[in-house]
Structure 1
Amino acid sequence: MSMSRTKERLVVIGGDAAGMSAASQARRLKDPDRLEIVAFERGHFSSYSACGIPYWVGGDVDSRDRLIARTPEEHRARAIDLRMRTEVTEIDVGRGRVRARDVDSGAESWTSYDKLVIATGARPIRPDLPGVDAPGVHGVQTLDDGQALLDSLAATPGRRAVVVGAGYIGVEMAEAMINRGYEVTVVNRGSQPMATLDPDMGRLVNRAMEGLGITMVNDAEVTKILTGDGAGRRVRAVGTDAAEYPADVVILGIGVRPETALAQAAGLPLGAHGGLLTDLAMRVRGHENIWSGGDCVEVLDLVSGRMRHIALGTHANKHGQVIGTNVGGGYATFPGVVGTAVSKVCDLEIARTGLREKDARRAGLQYETVVIESTSRAGYYPDAAPMTVEMLAERRTGRLLGVQIVGREGAAKRVDIAAVALTAQMTVEEMTALDLGYAPPFSPVWDPVLVAARKAAAAVAKAPR
């Protein structure tokens, strides 16, 4: 501890979910007389829901402020010195300090720390293409990004949107632009949208998106962004080797990478996906007084045993709670994830947890795959909607490995049954006896997940030993 200070100082880099959850939890456990907390955020907003940005852009959420869980002023009222529009440019691990720059004035200063939390998040993948920095080309990772996109839409009379990429971000932004009345084209390098699903389930998503009037261009690599000749050279089209797709606005939904340039420059350990590596307490490996969480870290996949990078607000908030508890003198751990995610495009719901077939093969697992068709409610009850469930079970043991669900209302959150079963390492045979809630308005007498479990258990029983 520095001799010039009589109390510990916690420095937090990043003012969103993981960073401010950590700061808030540490403050609950240690009062300002014992722990000083300084947090740096380079943007205009703190503690907001990045996951809500597509729904704000699309009009489902009526204002930006509804996505903000806690303002900088609210954090400061809790004795957290949150410095907005301030970017940390260097971590000096040897001397226990960080250098920060005021984004507006350019002024720089050093701040020492006793404990450090790195919560720098992730950055959108921005391909190195001609024209990618042209006006009208947008990523959507932060509230600043969402505001810039809305400002761009307001200033552009055209109604043609091209979304590059068809993962969660791409699919959600395609829906947002459909909701705003745009003509939407999705250019996707994969053979089907939603590469987090197996191909047969991805085809269901593709068919539904086309049914909504979205033009799907699969197996297509964007090679250039074309711009107009007028003032500002605004985007006018997206080009592939085979065609050009007119665009008044382009949204990059290719995915994200961990924002770990600072950590790498400081010599901190990174994994194969570029994320920081931590122990179960979310402490950066090999560094007693540095923690990290959120979109900038890698997490253990409890099903495959491999490290993964998953950028989700649920994980970030849990990481922050764990970090804040440990920094504040308590004890908590984050054991890992099973890879649960849900999304939607208009009324189509998409869910997955655990391993896809290619994940299971990569992990060296032998498995059985079953697919069933069912409905969200009893078939005779009004508005019963079709639902497709794919389930993977390990050959010989029958252990559940993964579940994917595509359907209408009532489909997506059913994946939580499978997420719990995966975490508990249940077999598909054990799942068939789960005492799930039943009434005709909520499910058939055999819930679709249990129908899949019965079929998977039968497939495991028949499989060669």
Structure 2
Amino acid sequence: MVVVGGDAAGMSAASQARRLKGEDELEIVAFERGGFSSYSACGIPYWVGGQVDGADQLIARSPGEHRERGIDLRMRTEVTELDLPGQRVRARDLESGDERWWGFDRLVLATGATPVRPDLPGIGAPGVHGVQSLDDGRALLDTLEEVARRGGAPDGGPRAVVVGAGYIGVEMAEALIRRGFRVTVLNRAPQPMTTLDPDMGELVHEAMCGMGIETVNGAEVTAIRTGADGSVRAVATEDAEYPAEVVVLGLGVRPATGLARDAGLPLGEYGGLLTDLSMRVRGTENVWAGGDCVEVLDLVSGRTRHIPLGTHANKHGQVIGSNAAGGYATFPGVVGTAVSKVCDLEIARTGLLERQAAEEGLRFVSVTIESTSRAGYYPDARPMRVKMLAERRTGRLLGTQIVGREGAGKRVDIAAVALTARMTVEEMTALDLGYAPPFSPVWDPVLVAARKAVAAVRKAG
């Protein structure tokens, strides 16, 4: 069994296969081109911001630990070619430059995703960083420390520009503020967080401004300006120029499927590999794929989507490892659940946005309610806003978004379960959720939104 990629999906697959098959039954070789294995990329903003003390805290299992468990994990080794008819891969040792072919009976592709880097003047300049791997995080920290040593501009501290206001952009903006940088976020959309509807994204914008992050919406970046030494000095848009000693790209990621494309494997609308329920690549017998390089079935819309999250990647790996070792497991799909934060504002969504529901041709109602995290009379009850979408004809829940303070974000899990079970909003109102004043009002905010959605469905006929 050859595994291409040594992070969540790849090493979960290798570990699960090893649990089911001993070394005398199945040889497992894994290749990772980076310097770390089995780590939490989601934790990088918190490492950069200082809440996590060092990269070691983000590593679930080191290369040595994998080897002790009978997995031949080869670090700093890049797979450069797939020969599927010949059942072999070409791998290059990045330290020595040596190349050789490795045969396989079973192949697992877990090549992950790469940060979007638009083709702009100056995009490759020193000081411009994407953040996808621990190697990327270390490089960014080195730049931040160097900039801090130089002292920044005469009129204040060092300056950073974050391009993009999705999950990574927002989280990196907070991390840079924590490190003493003056931060500007350039966002081409009308509001931050296009994973929310604009009216909910407006709350995120307000929170970012409240913590001192200058957020410029509707800003299309046109170039990275550099100084005499070639390093970044500013980011230009169509209307203005924003000084910066460091630039962080938060424009999302694309599936890293160049190897798969060159080998003729099937890719979907978003460039990710297409698999069946067993995570086997469609049209193949002995090739599986998982993690950020695949597209997954959206259980709400019925279409495949690219949703790069570590939760999915680890589940993919478990399924792949079971099947590659001769067992049986399936990954049925996702409902698009995600949660994040900026300062103390929690941001969560699951299911479809209004735009996505309209694109699917669904007729729907949407409602928004204001509530609190605890009983209103209990100390430290914090406000939250819940938005809910339901199908007009059936009342089926289509999506939920939540923005609020402490205690808001994880409430989205209630809606995620309801979506997976294809519940109607009326059925949701009868859910037997836990209640006590320190944890919730008598009617949990999600159920208040469901009640309002029931009324909207009835009114719509």
TM-score, normalised relative to structure 2: 0.98
From 329, 333, 358, give the equivalent of 2:330.
333
2:198 and 2:186 mapped to 1: Cα distance?
A: 17
Q: Superposition pairs for residues 230-269 of structure 1, below 5 Å?
A: 230=229, 233-269=230-266
Instruction: Tell me by how many angstroms 1:208 deviates.
Output: 1.1
Instruction: Tell me by how many angstroms 1:104 deviates.
Output: 1.6
From 273, 277, 282, give the equivalent of 2:274.
277
Corresponding residue number in structure 2 for 1:7: none
Corresponding residue number in structure 1 for 2:180: 181
Q: Superposition pairs for residues 59-458 of structure 1, below 5 Å?
A: 59-156=50-147, 157=150, 158=152, 159-230=158-229, 233-458=230-455
Query: Secondary structure of 1:35's match?
Result: coil
Q: Which amino acid aligns with 2:211?
A: L
| 2:426 corresponds to 1:462 | no
Q: Which amino acid aligns with 1:279?
A: D
Query: Secondary structure of 1:425's match?
Result: coil
Instruction: Tell me by how many angstroms 1:329 deviates.
Output: 1.2
Instruction: Tell me by how many angstroms 1:94 deviates.
Output: 0.7
1:444 and 1:179 mapped to 2: Cα distance?
A: 34
For residues 27-84 of structure 1, the C-alpha deviation after alignment (integer angstroms, 9 at most, x for no partner) is 0000000100000000000000000000000001011100000000000001100000
2:277 and 2:94 mapped to 1: Cα distance?
A: 34
Identity of aligned residues (%): 77
2:136 and 2:257 mapped to 1: Cα distance?
A: 19
Instruction: Tell me by how many angstroms 1:180 deviates.
Output: 1.1
Out of 118-127 and 100-109, give the one that drifted further: 100-109
Instruction: Tell me by how many angstroms 1:364 deviates.
Output: 1.1
Q: Which amino acid aligns with 2:118?
A: P
Corresponding residue number in structure 2 for 1:4: none
Q: Which amino acid aligns with 2:312?
A: H
1:359 and 1:207 mapped to 2: Cα distance?
A: 24
For residues 411-450 of structure 1, the C-alpha deviation after alignment (integer angstroms, 9 at most, x for no partner) is 0000000000000000000100111111111011110000
Instruction: Tell me by how many angstroms 1:194 deviates.
Output: 0.3
TM-score, normalised relative to structure 1: 0.97
Instruction: Tell me by how many angstroms 1:386 deviates.
Output: 0.6
Q: Which amino acid aligns with 1:322?
A: V
Out of 25-34 and 176-185, give the one that drifted further: 176-185
Query: Secondary structure of 1:310's match?
Result: coil
For residues 274-328 of structure 1, the C-alpha deviation after alignment (integer angstroms, 9 at most, x for no partner) is 0000000000001000000000000000000011000000000000000000011
Q: Which amino acid aligns with 1:110?
A: W
Query: Secondary structure of 1:387's match?
Result: strand
Query: Secondary structure of 2:293's match?
Result: coil
1:460 and 1:227 mapped to 2: Cα distance?
A: 55
Instruction: Tell me by how many angstroms 1:458 deviates.
Output: 0.6
1:370 and 1:303 mapped to 2: Cα distance?
A: 18
Gaps of 5+ in 2: 153-157
Instruction: Tell me by how many angstroms 1:181 deviates.
Output: 1.4
Q: Which amino acid aligns with 1:210?
A: C
Instruction: Tell me by how many angstroms 1:182 deviates.
Output: 1.1
2:27 and 2:420 mapped to 1: Cα distance?
A: 37
Corresponding residue number in structure 1 for 2:44: 53
- What value does the CA root-mean-square deviation take over the aligned residues? 0.6
Instruction: Tell me by how many angstroms 1:92 deviates.
Output: 0.2
Q: Which amino acid aligns with 2:253?
A: V
Instruction: Tell me by how many angstroms 1:106 deviates.
Output: 1.2
Instruction: Tell me by how many angstroms 1:396 deviates.
Output: 1.6
Q: Which amino acid aligns with 2:232?
A: V
Query: Secondary structure of 2:291's match?
Result: coil
1:101 and 1:345 mapped to 2: Cα distance?
A: 41
Query: Secondary structure of 2:440's match?
Result: coil
Q: Which amino acid aligns with 1:208?
A: A
1:305 and 1:74 mapped to 2: Cα distance?
A: 40
Corresponding residue number in structure 2 for 1:31: 22
2:170 and 2:433 mapped to 1: Cα distance?
A: 31
Query: Secondary structure of 2:176's match?
Result: helix
Runs of 4+ in 1 over 2 A off after TM superposition: none
1:454 and 1:180 mapped to 2: Cα distance?
A: 44
Q: Which amino acid aligns with 1:217?
A: V
Corresponding residue number in structure 1 for 2:155: none
Q: Which amino acid aligns with 2:456?
A: A
